[in-house]
C-alpha cells in the first residue's frame, strides 16, 4: 500500500493513495481525511485503504488523477514524535573523526538517538529556507518508519511489529552548529532545521525483498547539483528498526504516527559514496589528507531516490530540494 | 485570562476558562473546542475568551460548574514542540558537579536546550508510570511559556512578544540515564519521560507583578511526600523567555502552541532549597561531603505550587503526582 498527502492548504493535508507506477492517485477522503487520522484509526482503515489501492492499480476507480509529487507534502506533514538514530555505525565512527569528539560510549551496542522537531516537516520538492551559508548546510539521506502505538518498555521484536509504514527522509543539518550542541550534552536543536520526506509512504509488504531483517534493503541514490554523490545501501544498518523503536520507548509510550529514522545511510565500502557532505569531507581528510568539498550554498540542489538491488526505482518517489536564504 | 483543559476522553481535551479564585469554570466550546485550536486562531478567539473569563469572574455565566483540577489534562495535552532550557545557571553549574561532566562551553552566554517529546503530556494529578526505581526518578519544578507563531531568526525582543501563556511544569527526569545520554552528544531521550503541567495556563497580564523582565517572579514551592523541599524564585533565571524562544527559533520557525521551559528553578541561596532531587544531592555532596538523599520510590508523591512574593497562591493550581510502576 502506497500513501501520500496532497497539499490542500491545511496543516495535515489530504490523504491519497498512489498507484504502483506512481502514475496516478485517488483521494482517500471517504476512508480517512488525513494520514494522521488514518494512523489513529489504523485497524479500521487499513483494509479499506488497501482495497482502494488495489482498485486504483487495477484501473477500477473513476476519480483517479495524475499523481504529481510536487503537489505533495511530507506523508505526515506533522507527527507526534520524530526520533532520529545514528544506526549506521560506519557513519558514526567517521563523524567522530570529523567532529574530533571523544568516542561515544557503548556506540556499537546502544543506539544513539535525538529528538527532532516534528511539527513542520518539508515536502519532497519544498524549498529549504535556512538562515546562513556559514552554518555548514548539509543534506542527510535516510530511511525511516512510521509506528503504530508502542507500549513503554516494548521489546525490539514487539517494536518491530509496530512498524506500519516505511519512508525516505532528507534530514537537513547545519554542521557548523552541531559540535557545540553535542558538547552541551543537550543534543541537536539549532543544528537540525525542518526535516524533509519523499512523497510516498509504503507498508513494509509493499517493498518485497526491499524490507528484510527490519531494514530497508535498497540503495539510496544521492545527487548534489546533478552530480552523483553516493548510493549507500540500507541493509548495512547496524541496529534494525525494532531495536531503534524499543530504544525510543524505554521510558515512554509512542503514540501512533511517531517516526523513527535510521540516521544517514552509510556503507564501509568507499565505492558506495556518501549520503551527506560531512561524511565525504571526513573521508577526504582521512584518504587524501585534506578536505576538498565545501558545504551547500544557497541555490544548491539535492536529489535522493531509493532503488531496489535490481536497479528498479523505489516506491517512495524522489526528494528534490533547493536551499534558499530564509531572509 | 485563565485557561484549562478538561479531560473528555479526546486527545486534546475540552477548553474551559477558569475563575480567578479557581473555584469555578465554564466551557469555551462556543469559542474554541480545544486550546490548540485557540492557539491556531488566537487573534480571533483571544478577546471572546477574555470576555468569557470576565463574565465568569463577575458571576454572569449561567452554565458555570465547580472547577476540579483532578479532571484536568495538561493545558495543552499535546503540543507542536516542547523545548526545555536550563536557564537557571546556578542549577546547571551544580549539575555539572553532580554528573562530573566537563563544563558546558559558553554555558553562561548561550542557552542550552533540549527537545522533549510533546505528544503525551501528563495532567496535574496524573499518576506517573515509570519502568524502574533504579533509573533515578526525579521531579523538576519549572516555569514555561506557550508561544504563538515565531519566525525563524526572531530577535529575543520579538520572541518575547510571542509569549501567549505562562505555565507551571513538572519535568520528570530519570537521573541514572542522563549522564550516558549527555555523553553521546545526542541529548536526553530515555532520561526524559512524559512531562506534567499544572492545570491552568494564564496570559502574562494575569500575573501582574508575577511577570516582569520576561521571567516568572514567583516562588515555586515543592514538597516531596508532604515534606518541604524548596521554594526557589523564578526571578533568578539568567536568560529571559524571549532569549530562550529566540535560541529555539535560530534555524526553524515555531508553530503556535510550542512550549518553551525554563529548566529547574534554582537559586544561589541555599535557604531556598531545591526544585529537584539531583540538585539537593549535589548540594549535600558539596556542603556535607556525602549524598544523603535517594531518588524517588514507587508510591512517592510530589507537590508543586507557585506563590507570589506576598504569599498568595499562584494562578496555575497545584501539581500533585504519584510515581507508580509501569509494569
Say yes or no to pLDDT of A101 above 80: no
Give the position of cell 568507499. A270
Residue of B nearest to A84 (CA): B186
Q: Identify the CA nearest to A278 among candidates A77, A81, A138.
A: A138
Q: Chain A residues with CB inside 8 Å of B83's CB?
A: 189
**A50-54, A93-97, A279-283: segment of lowest average pLDDT:** A93-97
CB-based contact B251 A131, cutoff 8 Å: yes
Q: Cβ contact (<8 Å) for B119 and A188?
A: no
Judged against a pLDDT cut of 70, whether residue A256 lies above it is answered with yes
pLDDT band, residue A76 (cuts 50/70/90):
very high
CA dist., res. B279 & res. B284, Å (int): 9
Please answer yes or no on whether A180 and B153 come within 8 Å at the CB atom.
no
Selected for mutation to probe chain A from B122, B136, B153, B186 (highest A CB count within 10 Å) is: B186
* A190 contacts in chain B (CB < 8 Å): 247, 250-251
* Chain A residues within 8 A of B120 when measuring between CB atoms: 80, 252-253, 255
Contact residues on chain A for B129, CB-CB shorter than 8 A: 152
Given a contact cutoff of 8 angstroms between Cβ atoms, the answer to whether B249 and A194 are in contact is: no
Widest distance between CA atoms in chain A:
61
Give me the residue from A152, A182, A258 closest to B131, CB to CB: A152
Minimal C-alpha gap between A291 and chain B (Å): 24
Q: Do A193 and B326 touch (CB under 8 A)?
A: no
Cβ contact B180:B136 at 8 Å: no
Return the SS3 of B169: strand
pLDDT number for residue B199? 98
Mean pLDDT of A311-321: 98
Contact A189 B78 (CB under 8 A): no
Q: How far apart are CA B327 and CA B324, in angstroms?
A: 9
Chain B contact present for A221, CB below 8 A: no
CB B64 within 8 A of CB B24: yes
pLDDT of A98 > 70? The answer is: no
| B297 three-state secondary structure | coil
**Bridge partners of residue B305, in order along the sequence:** B221
Q: What whole-number distance in Å separates Cα of residue B236 and Cα of residue B267? A: 6
Q: Which pLDDT value is given to residue A52?
A: 98
- Rounded CA-CA distance B172/B117 in Å is 12
d(Cα A271, Cα A274) in Å, to the nearest integer?
A: 9
A104 with B185: Cβ contact below 8 A: yes
**B295 Cβ under 8 Å from any chain A Cβ:** no
In tens digits, chain B (327 residues) has pLDDT values of: 999 999 999 999 999 999 999 999 999 999 999 999 999 999 999 999 999 999 999 999 999 999 999 999 999 999 999 999 999 999 988 878 766 777 888 989 999 999 999 999 999 999 999 999 999 999 999 999 999 999 999 999 999 999 999 999 999 999 999 999 999 999 999 999 999 999 999 999 999 999 999 999 999 999 999 999 999 999 999 999 999 999 999 999 999 999 999 999 999 999 999 999 999 999 999 999 999 999 999 999 999 999 999 999 999 999 999 999 998
A153 touches chain B (CB under 8 A): yes
Percent with pLDDT over 70 in chain A: 99
Contact B252 A191 (CB under 8 A): no
- Strand segments, DSSP code E, in B97-218 are 113-116, 128-130, 137-138, 141-147, 163-170, 173-174, 196-197, 201-202, 211-212, 215-216
Asked if the model's pLDDT at residue A224 lies above 90, the reply is yes
Inspect the interface and report whether the beta carbons of A115 and B115 lie closer than 8 Å. yes
Contact across the interface for B131 and A112, Cβ inside 8 Å: no
Which residues of chain B does A113 touch, with a Cβ-Cβ cutoff of 8 Å? 186, 189
pLDDT digits (tens, 9 = 90+) for B286-299: 999 999 999 999 99
Distance CA B236, CA B240 (A): 10
Alpha helices of chain A — where are they, by DSSP H?
35-40, 42-57, 89-99, 156-160, 178-184, 241-248, 277-288
pTM of model > 0.95 = yes
- Total beta-carbon pairs less than 8 A apart between chain A and chain B: 145
Is A159 an 8 Å CB contact of chain B? no
Nearest CA in chain B to A137: B251
- Asked if B80 lies within 8 A of A119 by C-beta distance, the reply is yes
Contact A30, A43 (CB under 8 A): no
Residue in this structure with the C-alpha cell 536526553, named with its chain if needed: B188
Answer whether residue A146 shows pLDDT above 70: yes
pLDDT recorded at residue B105: 86
Name, in order, each residue with C-beta under 8 angstroms of A299's C-beta and a sequence gap of 6 or more. A322, A323, A324
- Partner residue facing B131 (CB), from A110, A113, A153: A153
Predicted ipTM? 0.96
**How crowded is the C-beta side of A172, counted as CA atoms within 13 Å?**
33
DSSP letter string, A6-27: E--SSSS-EEEEE-TTSSEEEE
Query: Using CA atoms, how far apart are residues A257 and A118, in angstroms rounded to an integer?
Result: 11
CB contact under 8 A, A248 and B80: no
Task: Express each pLDDT in B93-105 by its tens digit.
Answer: 887 876 677 788 8
Closest CA to A198 of A216, A177, A175: A216
Q: Once rounded to an integer, what is the mean pLDDT over residues A194-219?
A: 98
Q: Are strands A163-170 and A128-130 parallel, antiparallel or unpaired?
A: unpaired
Q: What is the pLDDT at residue A99?
A: 63
CA angle A164, A6, A230 (to 5 degrees): 65
A101 inside 8 A of chain B by CB: yes
Distance from CA of A68 to the nearest CA of B (A): 27
Which residues in A lie closer than 8 A to residue B190 (C-beta atoms)?
247, 250-251
Query: Which residues are CB-contacts of B323 (< 8 A; sequence separation ≥ 6)?
Result: B127, B128, B130, B137, B296, B297, B298, B299, B300, B301, B302
Q: What angle do CA B179, B181, B182 make, to 5 degrees?
A: 65
B320 touches chain A (CB under 8 A): no
CA-nearest of A90, A168, A163, A177 to A131 is A177
| Nearest CA distance, A250 vs chain B (angstrom) | 6
3-state secondary structure of B288: helix
**Which residue of chain A comes nearest to B137, CA vs CA?**
A251
**pLDDT reported for residue B320:** 98
Note the maximum CA span of chain B: 61
Rounded Cα distance between B5 and B77, Å, is: 8
Alpha-carbon Rg for chain A, nearest whole angstrom, is 19
B window 63-92, beta carbon within 8 A of A: 78, 80-81, 83, 86
Instruction: Quote the CA–CA distance of B79 and B180 in Å, as a whole number.
Output: 27
pLDDT band at A162 (very low <50, low <70, confident <90, very high): very high
B183, B255, B327 ranked by CB distance to A120: nearest: B255
A164 contacts A203 by C-beta, under 8 angstroms: yes
Contact across the interface for A120 and B251, Cβ inside 8 Å: no
Q: Which of A83, A89, A115 to mutate to test the interface with B (most CBs of B within 10 A)?
A: A115
* A264 at interface of B, judged by CB pairs closer than 8 A: no
> What is the nearest CA distance from A62 to chain B, expressed in angstroms?
36
Residue B180 cell numbers, joined: 550516558
Angle between helices B277-288 and B89-99 (to 10 degrees): 70
- Average pLDDT value for residue range A232-244: 98
- Best residue of B115, B138, B261, B296 to probe chain A, by most A CBs closer than 10 Å: B115
pLDDT reported for residue B316: 98
Q: What are phi and psi of B251, to 5 degrees?
A: -135, 20
Residues of B in contact with A109 (CB under 8 A): none
Least Cα separation, residue B198 to chain A (angstroms): 20
Amino acid at each position: 500500500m502506497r500513501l501520500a498527502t496532497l497539499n490542500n492548504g491545511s496543516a495535515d493535508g489530504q490523504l491519497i493513495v498512489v498507484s504502483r507506477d506512481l502514475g496516478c492517485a485517488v483521494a482517500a477522503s471517504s476512508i480517512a481525511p488525513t494520514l494522521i487520522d488514518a494512523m489513529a484509526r489504523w485497524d479500521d482503515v487499513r483494509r479499506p485503504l488497501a482495497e482502494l489501492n488495489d482498485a486504483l492499480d487495477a484501473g477500477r476507480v473513476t476519480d483517479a488523477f495524475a499523481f504529481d509529487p510536487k503537489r505533495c507534502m511530507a506523508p505526515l506533514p506533522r507527527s507526534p514524535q520524530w526520533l532520529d538514530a545514528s544506526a549506521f555505525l560506519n557513519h558514526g565512527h567517521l563523524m567522530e573523526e570529523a567532529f574530533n569528539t571523544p568516542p561515544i560510549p557503548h556506540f556499537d551496542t546502544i543506539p544513539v538517538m535525538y529528538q527532532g522537531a516534528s511539527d513542520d516537516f518539508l515536502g519532497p520538492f519544498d524549498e529549504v529556507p535556512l538562515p546562513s551559508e556559514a552554518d555548514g548546510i548539509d543534506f542527510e539521506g535516510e530511511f525511516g518508519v512510521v509506528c503504530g502505538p508502542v507500549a513503554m518498555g516494548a521489546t525490539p521484536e514487539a517494536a518491530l511489529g509496530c512498524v506500519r509504514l516505511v519512508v525516505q527522509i532528507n534530514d537537513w543539518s547545519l554542521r557548523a552548529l552541531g559540535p557545540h550542541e553535542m558538547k552541551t550534552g543537550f543534543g541537536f536543536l539549532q543544528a537540525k532545521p525542518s526535516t524533509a520526506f519523499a512523497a510516498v509512504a509504503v507498508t513494509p509488504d509493499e517493498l518485497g525483498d526491499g524490507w528484510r531483517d527490519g531494514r530497508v534493503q535498497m540503495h539510496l541514490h544521492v545527487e548534489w547539483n546533478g552530480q552523483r554523490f553516493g548510493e549507500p545501501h540500507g541493509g548495512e544498518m547496524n541496529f534494525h528498526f525494532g531495536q531503534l523503536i524499543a530504544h525510543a520507548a524505554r521510558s515512554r509510550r509512542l503514540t501512533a504516527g511517531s517516526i523513527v529514522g535510521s540516521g544517514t545511510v552509510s556503507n564501509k565500502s568507499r565505492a558506495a559514496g556518501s549520503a551527506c557532505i560531512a561524511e565525504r569531507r571526513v573521508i577526504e581528510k582521512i584518504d587524501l589528507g585534506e578536505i576538498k568539498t565545501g558545504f551547500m550554498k544557497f541555490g544548491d540542489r539535492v536529489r535522493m531516490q531509493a532503488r531496489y538491488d535490481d536497479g528498479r526505482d523505489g516506491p517512495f518517489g524522489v526528494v528534490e530540494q533547493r536551499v534558499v536564504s530564509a531572509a
